[in-house]
Amino acid sequence: MGAKPRSLSGIKPTGIPHLGNYLGMIKPAIQLQETHETFYFIADYHALTSMRDPEQLREHTYDLTAIFAALGMDFENNAFFRQSDIPEVTELTWILSCITAKGLMERAHAYKDAVAKNQEVSMGLFCYPVLMACDILIYDSNFVPVGQDQRQHLEITRDLAIRFNHLYGEAFVIPEAIIEKEVALIPGLDGRKMSKSYGNVIPLLAPEKQFRKAIMKITTDSKAVDEAKDPDSCSVFALYKCFANATEQEALAERYRSGGMGYGEAKQICFEALNAELKEPRKIYQQIRTDQNKLDGILESGRDKARAVARQVTDRVRNKVGL
Ligand code: TRP
């Protein structure tokens, strides 16, 4: 292990990342490289609990790899890899399953929701938290940055690690969650939270024209150009805030309040602020996304780095249980 603490997180390849994913997860994840050794993986095994399209699964895996590359992930000093490239993770999942109480899984939110909605529950969905615990424990992870929705999974992970250590002696590092502070709610095109399931997303690194067009489509009220407007209830302004410093925010808020600026102009200003940050990454993304060798190389080097750690921890655990 290096001198920096290790942080690990996973992202499911279930769709094309949008601005909400970027602000909530990808950007903070990349910033963490400064203070942590970061391991990020594409949770393709977890995606199988809901995805049935092989082609999309493969494409989204490459999309994510190219996005992390374009946004400045340092692959030399960190690791970026596919979950399914580390067979040890399923090996460990079996071992950990054997000390996991079924009742604990029955209290997991995702499972309970599926039952409440009368959805079919696969064993994959039911055991999702054990696999996730292994994702974390297998790399001796110190920290796990995740969204609020993953809090319970982290608690389950800690419970299982503590239980194992208690039964067999110290084998696992007990990880700590870093729960993203409530990122200011990122509104989508219709003003509701930006979410794939609402169909209101702005794709992160879409071609500039398409990106601008999406911003121009954000819903606003129908105040005329000369009327005074309220920045705090406007989705355009909320989005702008995520990309502008305090002085810039105040300047635009002032223009809202004093009237004389139409929403078309506000959207253009918003577009320019977002584009200033995303223009360069978009260019790199477009180049690298078609460079299959490069993407495979990134995933292979991440795999080798991650697998070396995973093997060690799995052997430690096998030894403890008597295998
Ligand atoms: N369950 C996470 C999600 O849905 C993805 C994930 C899988 C993950 N394994 C992980 C996140 C391990 C952090 C650590 O977003």
CATH at 272: 1.10.240.10
Q: Do both 148 and 74 map to the same domain?
A: yes
Task: Give the pTM.
Answer: 0.93
Q: How far apart are CA 199 and CA 87, in angstroms?
A: 35
Whether 165 has a pLDDT exceeding 60, the answer reads: yes
- Which residues are CB-contacts of 115 (< 8 A; sequence separation ≥ 6)? 121
7 confidence band (pLDDT: 50, 70, 90): very high
Q: Say what the pLDDT of residue 147 is.
A: 83
Does residue 160 fall inside a structural domain?
Answer: yes
Does residue 238 fall inside a structural domain?
Answer: yes
Residue 14 DSSP one-character state: S
182 confidence band (pLDDT: 50, 70, 90): low
Q: Do both 125 and 228 map to the same domain?
A: no
Half-sphere exposure of 1 toward its Cβ, with a 13 Å CA cutoff? 17
Whether 2 has a pLDDT exceeding 90, the answer reads: no
Give 204-265 as a 3 state SS string: CCCCHHHHHHHHHCCCCCCCCCCCCCCHHHCHHHHHHHCCCCHHHHHHHHHHHHHCCCCHHH
Domain span at residue 271 reads: 205-286
- The preferred substitution site among 6, 86, 153 for testing ligand 1, maximizing ligand atoms within 8 Å of CB, is 153
Whether 315 has a pLDDT exceeding 60, the answer reads: yes
Indicate the length of the chain as a whole number: 323
Binding-site residues, ligand 1, Cβ < 6 A:
9-10, 12, 43, 46, 132, 135-136, 144, 146, 150, 153
Q: How far is ligand 1, taken at its centre, from the CA of residue 318, in Å? A: 24
Q: Do both 282 and 308 map to the same domain?
A: no
Q: Say what the pLDDT of residue 183 is.
A: 61
Identify whether the C-beta of residue 236 lies closer than 8 Å to the C-beta of residue 218: yes
- Sign of the Cα pseudo-torsion (229, 235, 241, 243, in order): negative
- Which residues are CB-contacts of 246 (< 8 A; sequence separation ≥ 6)? none
Q: How far is ligand 1, taken at its centre, from the CA of residue 35, in Å? A: 21
Q: Do both 124 and 232 map to the same domain?
A: no
Q: How far apart are CA 8 and CA 39, in angstroms?
A: 5
Q: Do both 26 and 108 map to the same domain?
A: yes
Q: Do both 29 and 91 map to the same domain?
A: yes
What average pLDDT does range 48-54 have in this prediction?
Answer: 96
Q: Say what the pLDDT of residue 83 is.
A: 98
Residue % of the chain over a pLDDT of 90: 91
User: Based on the number of CB atoms within 10 Å of its own CB, is 75 exposed (0-12), middle (13-18) or buried (19 or more)?
Assistant: middle
Q: Say what the pLDDT of residue 24 is.
A: 83
Measured by CA distance, the residue closest to atom 6 of ligand 1 is: 10
What average pLDDT does range 215-235 have in this prediction?
Answer: 96
Report pLDDT digits (tens) over 236-263: 999 999 999 999 999 999 999 999 999 9
- The preferred substitution site among 41, 132, 134 for testing ligand 1, maximizing ligand atoms within 8 Å of CB, is 132
Q: CA 147, 162, 89, 82: dihedral to nearest 10 degrees?
A: 20
- The preferred substitution site among 11, 93, 195 for testing ligand 1, maximizing ligand atoms within 8 Å of CB, is 11
Whether 1 has a pLDDT exceeding 90, the answer reads: no
Q: How far is ligand 1, taken at its centre, from the CA of residue 49, in Å? A: 13
Whether 184 has a pLDDT exceeding 70, the answer reads: no
Q: How far is ligand 1, taken at its centre, from the CA of residue 44, in Å? A: 10
Does residue 116 fall inside a structural domain?
Answer: yes
Q: Domain tally for the chain?
A: 2
Q: CA 71, 76, 77, 79: dihedral to nearest 10 degrees?
A: 70
Give 102 or 15, the one with higher predicted confidence: 102
Whether 290 has a pLDDT exceeding 60, the answer reads: yes
Measured by CA distance, the residue closest to atom 9 of ligand 1 is: 132
Q: How far is ligand 1, taken at its centre, from the CA of residue 11, in Å? A: 6
Report pLDDT digits (tens) over 128-149: 999 999 999 999 999 999 888 8
Q: Say what the pLDDT of residue 56 is.
A: 97
Q: Across all residues in the chain, what is the average pLDDT?
A: 95
Q: Do both 79 and 27 map to the same domain?
A: yes
Q: How far is ligand 1, taken at its centre, from the CA of residue 21, in Å? A: 13
Q: Do both 279 and 316 map to the same domain?
A: no
Q: Say what the pLDDT of residue 150 is.
A: 92
Does residue 265 fall inside a structural domain?
Answer: yes
CATH of the domain at 132: 3.40.50.620
Q: How far is ligand 1, taken at its centre, from the CA of residue 132, in Å? A: 6
Does residue 112 fall inside a structural domain?
Answer: yes
3-state secondary structure of 92: helix
Give 24 or 307, the one with higher predicted confidence: 307
Show the tokens assigned to 271. Answer: 């577009």
Q: How far is ligand 1, taken at its centre, from the CA of residue 323, in Å? A: 28
Beta strands in 123-193 (DSSP E): 143-146, 176-179
Helices 292-321, 151-168: inter-axial angle, 10-degree rounding: 40
Q: Do both 117 and 63 map to the same domain?
A: yes
Element holding 164 (H helix, E strand): helix 151-168
Q: Do both 113 and 249 map to the same domain?
A: no
3-state secondary structure of 27: helix
Q: Do both 43 and 150 map to the same domain?
A: yes
Element holding 82 (H helix, E strand): strand 79-82
Report pLDDT digits (tens) over 116-128: 999 999 999 999 9
Q: Do both 24 and 113 map to the same domain?
A: yes
Q: How far apart are CA 276 and CA 174, in angstroms?
A: 40
- For residue 11, give the ligand 1 atom closest to its CA: 5
Does residue 1 fall inside a structural domain?
Answer: no
